[in-house]
Structure 1
Amino acid sequence: MVSVNFLVNNFKVIREHRYILIQLIKKDLQNRYVGSFLGLFWAFFPPLVNIGVFWFIFEVGFKSVPVNNYPFILWLLTGMIPWFFISDSISYSSTSILDNKFLVKNVVFKLNILPFVRICSSLIIHLFFVLVLLLFFSFYGYKPKIYNLQVIYYILCTITLVYGISLITSSLIIFVKDLGQFLALILQIAFWITPIFWSLNLLPSKYHLLIKLNPFYYVVEGYRNSFIYNAWFWQYPRQTLFFWGVTFFTIGLGTYLYRKLRPHFADVI
């Protein structure tokens, strides 16, 4: 209940201060690549290079076997592109409060929206890659379908889950500076235990439930349901309820930590 109320209150703050929020997102995108010659181009270039490398290796080199009659590169990209968003938004939003020290002593400003600002910055980049994904499917002869619209739901799932995680990490990292390195390690482990490069069917069935406890699995598999498997999220009620249970627990924990630690931010920073 606390996490739901917290989300509702944040939604009200965002709605009331939406103009300021938009300005913060614009400024964040500008500052993120300030000083580099190509600027915002660097937000898109490395993932595009990765996609090109994956295409060459798996399509030209290995000539990978299709998955569910879809080229392997399409199956892979439907897992990689949501992971780009998850990884980037978690790592970037975790330092959102620490990087805005000048706002910490402002008792009026709601610091808890700073992680959301950075998630929105990552979202803008992610939407570009969703378009790239659609272009890849079109290139291989697969026309857009109604199931593709479901990706909007999974984007909302990702934003909500990542926001809860970022509330925890952005509050703790002020006091535990090593958390940044630890978080990078956790994300690397999460990448390999999430079925992105490999299919869940490769594992013995006794391990399937363990993998499905990973909330990132729900998002990655959701993208594949939207683009490849043609399945709606309500066809998996248990997984959906579990995901939202984990998400609201994460937001509840993040809310508790933020409220407990907020009065001490200025002392440490």
Structure 2
Amino acid sequence: MGRNQGVLNKGLRKLPKRAGLGIFYVLALALALLLVFHNNPLADPHTEFLKKICGCVLIGVSCILGYAWYDKLTVLPVELFHSRNLIKRLSINDFKKRYAGSYMGIVWALAQPVVTVVMYYIVFDVIFQSRAQAVSGGIEMPYVLFLTAGLVPWFFFTEALTNGTTSLLEYNYLVKKVLFKISILPIVKIIAAMFIHVFFICVMLVIACVYGYYPNIYWIQFIYYIGCEFLLVLSLSYATCAIVVFFRDLLQIINIGLQLFQWFTPILWNIAIVPDDYKWIIKLNPMAYIVEGYRNTIMGDTWFFEHFYSSTYFWLFVVAAFSIGTLIFKRSKPHFADVL
């Protein structure tokens, strides 16, 4: 009986691999065809051709690495899916634990975004009377709304990355338990940070309505961009949480790096001020894609798939970051209990 069960389990492991690789290759082929046949009449033909070549090369490399490392790269997603109920409970408990013992409790978590928005409104709209900023298509939006749409995703990115990085250190008593799947700890911290982010988004949308930008069909894209940022932070966190166990100074490096990285992201300034020859450097920053996406969604004039090259690059970056993070995490995992 045990032998037959082992054969059955082996067969079940092979079937998902074939199906998973098949789906991956179909998506890669579809993306490659879209990349080849996508044309932007306003773009420089030489630059367009170079983008197509680079994109196809990256897709080809992804297919090769996906086949070679399929088993290693799919371990974490499978563990997360099987532990989804536990992740939900731990995320809620982690969020509540932050404010346990305070009289106002969760109100403190919700007060921060409101105070931040009010502060920026007083400084930039009332005192300095900042002028509107142009976004996609040359449409202008009030500077306070422009700034808030950049700060909302950035605050989530910094909090989620920091909490995800320290997840193993904070829950070190769980890391030492043999049967506990420690791979769920980074995602628990990120989901806990997501609760504040969702409330902050609601505050931002209220501000948009105050300035005359009412809900429309484009606002459904917030679901897409939230998912983009969630997967981006999760991909980075698997690498950082594993490394920080052995190199504690990494957390301080990340904090300083985030301060510098904020100025490299078009949050307080408009990407339109950058010369066209150098905009591609700014767009290498994946958070620029998220920030611009939030702003364009509020304006309700652009779908995410209209920015084809930016979307393609972003997802290739996320897949690469997740692959590297997964490999680092799995290689380091056997040594976590010894160090902690």
TM-score (norm 1): 0.94
The aligned residue for residue 246 of structure 2 is 175
The aligned residue for residue 234 of structure 2 is 163
The aligned residue for residue 122 of structure 2 is 56
**Contact 1:3–1:251, Cα closer than 8 Å, also in 2:** no
**Contact 2:286–2:314, Cα closer than 8 Å, also in 1:** yes
Deviation at 1:186, TM superposition (A): 1.0
Deviation at 1:143, TM superposition (A): 1.2
Q: Which of residues 64, 68, 71 is equivalent to 2:142? A: 71
3-state DSSP of counterpart to 1:177: coil
The aligned residue for residue 19 of structure 1 is 85
The aligned residue for residue 119 of structure 1 is 190
Distance 1:117 1:5, change over 3 A: farther
Greater RCO, CA 8 A, separation 6+: 1
Q: Percentage identity across aligned positions?
A: 36
Distance 1:192 1:117, change over 3 A: same
Q: Alignment length, in residue pairs? A: 269
Alignment of 1:24-39 (within 5 A): 24-39=90-105
1:201-228 superposed Cα distances (whole Å, 9 cap, x missing partner): 1122222111000011011111111112
**Contact 2:266–2:288, Cα closer than 8 Å, also in 1:** yes
Structure 1: how far apart are the matches of 2:240 and 2:90? 20
**Contact 1:3–1:255, Cα closer than 8 Å, also in 2:** no
Task: State the AA in 1 paired with 2:83.
Answer: H
Check if 1:150 corresponds to 2:221: yes
The aligned residue for residue 159 of structure 2 is 88
Structure 1: how far apart are the matches of 2:329 and 2:187? 14
Structure 1: how far apart are the matches of 2:82 and 2:298? 36
Structure 2: how far apart are the matches of 1:230 and 1:65? 21
Alignment of 1:186-225 (within 5 A): 186-225=257-296
3-state DSSP of counterpart to 2:141: coil
Structure 1: how far apart are the matches of 2:167 and 2:284? 28
**Contact 1:200–1:208, Cα closer than 8 Å, also in 2:** yes
Deviation at 1:47, TM superposition (A): 2.7
Q: Which of residues 311, 314, 336 is equivalent to 1:240? A: 311
3-state DSSP of counterpart to 1:54: helix
**Contact 1:21–1:117, Cα closer than 8 Å, also in 2:** yes
Structure 1: how far apart are the matches of 2:72 and 2:125? 46
Deviation at 1:38, TM superposition (A): 3.1
Q: Which moved more, 1:11-20 or 1:68-77?
A: 11-20
Q: Which segments of 5 or more consecutive residues in structure 1 lack a partner in the other structure? A: none
3-state DSSP of counterpart to 2:324: helix
1:12-61 superposed Cα distances (whole Å, 9 cap, x missing partner): 43443332222101110122233444332332223322211111111101
Task: State the AA in 1 paired with 2:193.
Answer: S
1:51-88 superposed Cα distances (whole Å, 9 cap, x missing partner): 11111111101111122332111111111111111111
The aligned residue for residue 45 of structure 1 is 111
Deviation at 1:3, TM superposition (A): 8.1
Quote the RMSD (CA, aligned, Å).
1.8
Structure 2: how far apart are the matches of 1:6 and 1:44? 39
TM-score (norm 2): 0.75
Q: Which of residues 301, 321, 334 is equivalent to 1:230? A: 301
Deviation at 1:134, TM superposition (A): 1.2
Structure 1: how far apart are the matches of 2:241 and 2:102? 26
Structure 2: how far apart are the matches of 1:136 and 1:163? 29
**Contact 2:73–2:327, Cα closer than 8 Å, also in 1:** no
Q: Which of residues 171, 181, 188 is equivalent to 1:100? A: 171
